[in-house]
Structure 1
């Protein structure tokens, strides 16, 4: 089970680089996933880079961090008021191995 301190720090380590537009640091948290639609850091970086180019001042506000066993859900909101929940499975090396995102 992931403890509260680890979960909170993990969430902050994901949100801060995104808000600072530091894709290299953000992607250091992610492993390639052969079952996902985006595989590998280079594909994820290209995907996120398009988003940052379209919305250069895009920042998330972290509303809550939910955790159980080996997963974390980040509940956040962007400046447009869109709420998003990202479910992340954390692997044995404390890296993200799967992400499912839902937004309002």
Structure 2
């Protein structure tokens, strides 16, 4: 079970990894076959489903994102948790508000993430 403390630690480490543009560290939070869904996948990857599976495909997407937004910096607004999930509400690229929902496996790795933007 995810506690509020574990969820908060995850959120801060995840944001810090992104703010340092350290994709290896970001990807350490995920399973090898995790699934990422976001409307930005539609625009950056020309993938109509908005979903990519696997670290290699998502890494490629995130690399393109960092190229497009070289000043990317996230700031946490709030962190919410449940039994096996965490939701991070944060300021994202272009100062947009974002909410990202993460589902965790029993080993504490994210196997599915869904991002939402204003």
1:80 CA displacement: 2.3
Query: How big is the alpha-carbon RMSD for the aligned residues of Structure 1 and Structure 2?
Result: 1.7
- Name the residue aligned to 1:30: 30
When normalised by structure 1's length, the TM-score is: 0.92
Instruction: Answer 1 or 2: which has greater strand percent.
Output: 2
The structure-2 alpha-carbon separation of the partners of 1:69 and 1:20, relative to structure 1 and needing over 3 Å to count, comes to: same
Q: Which runs of 4+ in 1 moved over 4 A?
A: none
The structure-2 alpha-carbon separation of the partners of 1:34 and 1:65, relative to structure 1 and needing over 3 Å to count, comes to: closer
Q: Find the residue that maps to 2:86 and give its secondary structure.
A: strand
Q: Larger RCO: Structure 1 or Structure 2 (Cα < 8 Å, ≥ 6 residues apart)?
A: 2
Structure 1 gaps of 5+ residues are: none
The structure-2 alpha-carbon separation of the partners of 1:34 and 1:4, relative to structure 1 and needing over 3 Å to count, comes to: closer
The structure-2 alpha-carbon separation of the partners of 1:34 and 1:77, relative to structure 1 and needing over 3 Å to count, comes to: closer
- Name the residue aligned to 1:20: 20
Structure 2 gaps of 5+ residues are: 38-50
**1:24-63: CA deviations, max 9, x gaps?**
1100111213797312111111100001011111100011
When normalised by structure 2's length, the TM-score is: 0.82
Instruction: Answer 1 or 2: which has greater helix percent.
Output: 2
- Name the residue aligned to 2:112: 98
